[in-house]
Structure 1
Amino acid sequence: MFLRVLEMLYFIYFASHIPITLMIDLQALLPEHVYPPELKNVLQWYAAEFKDPMMLDPPVWFRSFVFCEALVQLPFFPIAAYAFLKGGCKWIRTPAIIYSIHVATTLIPILSHIIFHNFPLMPHPGPQTLRERLTLVSIYAPYLIIPVMILLTMLFNSTYNSTSPSGKASSKSKKQR
């Protein structure tokens, strides 16, 4: 039962990540004319409300992470959403482990940058106070926490890390011989 709840959480995570990536995140990479004014306004509002200048004027290292999100992660999102919606799909184990490790390693520098960088006030104000920094960290944190949860599920849950029933039988028969 608990595994099914986790799988549904993972499904929601991946399914919701598709429109977020397409409509918001990729604005950091693609030319401005690609997006309608309404979506550009959503990004402007988000960046101002949560003091996230990285989305409006992304540093090169951040842009490289968004590029990886577009090239590697985005094609994986619908596959993972399907696997977790269906549940118990052992074939998702290795891709989910790769995805989880990749995303966790990109989020560590992003979160470190938010916490430790001395953001300028102009042209796009970044977080200045501890509260503003923690608020922005709370926006990015689920994209570290959920992949780590996926990684732990893939590594330690018997549904995803056990061998096939025929594999178990053959290893038992080998021990008896």
Structure 2
Amino acid sequence: MAIVAPIVGGQTVLPERIFPEFLTDLKSNYISDFGDYLLIEKPYFVVGLFWHELLFLWPISIANVYAILTGKSWFGTTCLLYGASLVTSMAAILGEMIGSGKASDRLLMLYVPFMVIGIVAV
């Protein structure tokens, strides 16, 4: 998560010209391989969730890595914040994917583990 957020989420909400070509190619290949229609259509709720991911979840995931490496006592609290936020975001995304019927099984299998990570973090 600490790596995916700035690479994929950042390209979705920030101008692509600020990213190196190999990263924009990586995102384009991902979209074509998995058919991620949310990254193509960019509905407003997904853009909002990516901003939330960049401004809240990404810093918390970096703080969690630091807490794991240094044995900080506040790790449980930040894990709870991260997990609850991730589960909420994934509920919206998976609800859209399943409800709309646009997502392939392959795309769903890519997103479901993020829900599991959120549940485990809580």
So what's the TM-score if we normalise by structure 2?
Answer: 0.89
Q: What letter corresponds to residue 114 of structure 1 in structure 2? A: M
8 Å contact kept, 2:82–2:121: no
Counterpart check, 1:100 vs 2:83: yes
1:104-140 CA-partner distances (Å, limit 9, x unpaired): 0110110111112154xxxxxxx3xxxx2x2111111
Match of 1:142 in 2: 113
8 Å contact kept, 1:25–1:55: no
User: Percent identity of the aligned residues?
Assistant: 23
Counterpart check, 1:112 vs 2:83: no
Counterpart check, 1:53 vs 2:37: yes
4+ residue runs of structure 1 moved beyond 2 angstroms? Answer: 84-87
1:16-39 CA-partner distances (Å, limit 9, x unpaired): x22211122211100121122221
CA 1:138 to 1:106, structure 2 compared with 1: closer, same or farther past 3 Å? same
SS at match of 2:42: coil
CA 1:71 to 1:139, structure 2 compared with 1: closer, same or farther past 3 Å? same
Q: What letter corresponds to residue 92 of structure 1 in structure 2? A: F
Q: Distance in 2 between matches of 1:147 and 1:41?
A: 28
1:68-107 CA-partner distances (Å, limit 9, x unpaired): 00111111122101222445x3312222212111110110
Structure-to-structure mapping, 1:15-94, within 5 angstroms: 17-87=1-71, 89-94=72-77
List gaps (5 residues or longer) in structure 2.
none
Q: What letter corresponds to residue 106 of structure 2 in structure 1? A: T
Q: Distance in 2 between matches of 1:18 and 1:99?
A: 12
Q: What letter corresponds to residue 30 of structure 1 in structure 2? A: L
Number of aligned positions between the proteins: 122
So what's the TM-score if we normalise by structure 1?
Answer: 0.63
